[in-house]
Chain A
Amino acid sequence: SQQGEEDPQALSIQEGENATMNCSYKTSINNLQWYRQNSGRGLVHLILIRSNEREKHSGRLRVTLDTSKKSSSLLITASRAADTASYFCATDLQGAQKLVFGQGTRLTINP
């Protein structure tokens, strides 16, 4: 399996509800990043959390990182239709020269 794996693969919720996506990884990281991709378009950076940080906020986004469990979660509060997209975690591996992307969670917000 890949370094970064998102869970669930797909999530469908009602507008106004909160959405939580999880990411697990296998090896030590420098930081972990979350990206959003609208259908067929380029990825857009959402938030970066460093390995010595436990939680980070940006607007309606909250990211947590648990390095002991090698996992991260992305919470989107008060979801909107415009949040419908795929969300990817990307791990910045120690000693590597690249980000490794997971396969993503496809989020659908129903009006």
Chain B
Amino acid sequence: EAQVTQNPRYLITVTGKKLTVTCSQNMNHEYMSWYRQDPGLGLRQIYYSMNVEVTDKGDVPEGYKVSRKEKRNFPLILESPSPNQTSLYFCASSYKRDAYEQYFGPGTRLTVT
């Protein structure tokens, strides 16, 4: 089944404790992206990747890191999480960047206390 998976689905952590949210797709997609969704603010792009080893900042990259060492994986790293990073996070992928639908993962609900 074609899908985007994220882990963990739920995470409660404390300020400053490094964490990684994994994202994997099995559709051989070139383009991958991370979003955060907050009430009243909609979806905002954090980072995106056009292909392996090619990543770039989205609209709200501060406090996040990503890597794209393999085509299928695009982990999101929070080196020192803070409470303002409490949010619902989505990974998405598409065949290419232009004019293709994005497939979304199920989301990761992160709470930083």
| Contacts A30-B98, A45-B102; A97 near B50 (Cβ below 8 A) | yes
Q: Which listed residue, B42, B99, B101, B109, touches A101 by the CB 8 Å rule?
A: B42
Known A31-B99, A48-B101, A92-B98: A42·B42 in contact at CB below 8 Å: no
A99 at the interface (CB under 8 A from B): yes
A98 — which chain B residues lie within 8 A by C-beta? 33, 45, 48, 58
Chain B residues in 8 Å Cβ range of A97? 48, 50, 56, 97
A25: Cβ under 8 A from any B Cβ:
no
Nearest CB on A from B77, distance (A): 20
- Complex Cα distance A90/B42, Å? 11
- Name 11 interchain pairs, CB-CB below 8 A, sorted by A: A33-B102, A40-B88, A42-B4, A42-B90, A42-B107, A43-B43, A43-B102, A88-B43, A98-B58, A99-B45, A102-B42
Which residues of A are at the interface with B, using a C-beta cutoff of 8 A?
A: 2, 30-31, 33, 35, 40-45, 48, 50, 88, 90, 92, 97-99, 101-104
B positions within 8 Å CB-CB of A: 4, 33, 35, 40-45, 48, 50, 56, 58, 88, 90, 92, 97-99, 101-107, 109
